[in-house]
Amino acid sequence: MGIEKHISITGTSSVSWKDAVVQAVSEASKTIDYLSSVRVVDQRAKIDGRKLVQYYVDLDLSFVIDRDRD
């Protein structure tokens, strides 16, 4: 039986919310093994004048615990 652990992270991008998710998962995968799913909890953006300039996503990231790891 697999056990999953969940962590909360925030991703950012100057391009889009989708890019913020992709960048956050990419960075997290560098230090966390066995990523299994991501859930977008919240989205927000910074406005400068009339333009969105920074996108933020709060994510619930899941990964499988490796019980056989030394």
pLDDT in tens, 45-68: 999 999 999 999 999 999 998 777
pLDDT at 70 exceeding the cut of 90: no
For residue 61, how many other CB atoms are within 10 A of its CB?
A: 20
pLDDT of residue 68: 75
C-alpha dihedral (30, 34, 40, 42), degrees to nearest 10: -60
pLDDT of residue 69: 67
Q: Average pLDDT for residues 18-39, to the nearest whole number?
A: 96
Look up the CATH number of domain 4-64: 3.30.1660.10
Q: Average pLDDT for residues 7-30, to the nearest whole number?
A: 98
pTM given for the model? 0.88
User: Please, how many CA atoms are within 13 Å of residue 19, restricted to the half-sphere of its CB?
Assistant: 8
Please check whether residue 14 is in contact with residue 54, taking contact to mean a CB–CB distance below 8 angstroms.
Answer: yes
Please check whether residue 32 is in contact with residue 20, taking contact to mean a CB–CB distance below 8 angstroms.
Answer: no
pLDDT of residue 2: 76
